[in-house]
Amino acid sequence: MSARSQALVPLSAEQQAAWRAVAETEKRRHQGNTLAEYPYAGAFFRCLNGSRRISLSDLRFFMPSLTAEELRGNRSQWLYAVDVLIETQGEVCLLPLPGDAAERLFPSVRFRVRERSRHKSALVMQKYSRQQAREAEQKARAY
């Protein structure tokens, strides 16, 4: 049995809310509706909590130790970071969000990055082995 975070159908409410936020916002954008300042962040918290208002306790989802003093004056930075995170589906994770925020909402990002690096290293190894084989063949011909 696979882990809950590795399931094909996202079972956590946070992952479902993130995908639903992407779908709703893209649908509204496609229909030509006017979007709010941070449409993805707003849709995410609306899907997650059912409220249009984004509070400090909502933002604590990403950083549980966040205090009102830390948030004061930085609210727009937090909302922008959440908005970009969801809009890019976990590809871009800006500060002040913690580094694991993308993996919590979009676990497929970590898998995709790992597969890309594995494939890239395999291509490098193939190139190196072909080069060695070519050099050995040239030495055999010269001998």
- Provide the residue ranges of all domains of the chain, joining segments of one domain with +: 9-106, 108-143
Spacing of C-alpha 53 from chain mean position: 23
Q: What is the spatial distance between Cα 75 and Cα 80, in angstroms, rounded to a whole number?
A: 9
Output the pLDDT for position 4: 60
Q: What is the pTM of this model?
A: 0.74
pLDDT > 70: percent of the chain: 93
Comparing CA positions, the residue from 74, 45, 89 lying closest to residue 36 is 45
Output the pLDDT for position 108: 86
Output the pLDDT for position 128: 87
Output the pLDDT for position 143: 75
Output the pLDDT for position 56: 92
Output the pLDDT for position 80: 97
Spacing of C-alpha 139 from chain mean position: 50
Low-confidence ranges of the chain (pLDDT < 50): none
**Contact between 13 and 48 (Cβ < 8 Å):** yes
**Rg of the chain's alpha carbons, rounded to an integer?**
22
Q: What is the spatial distance between Cα 82 and Cα 58, in angstroms, rounded to a whole number?
A: 11
Output the pLDDT for position 7: 60
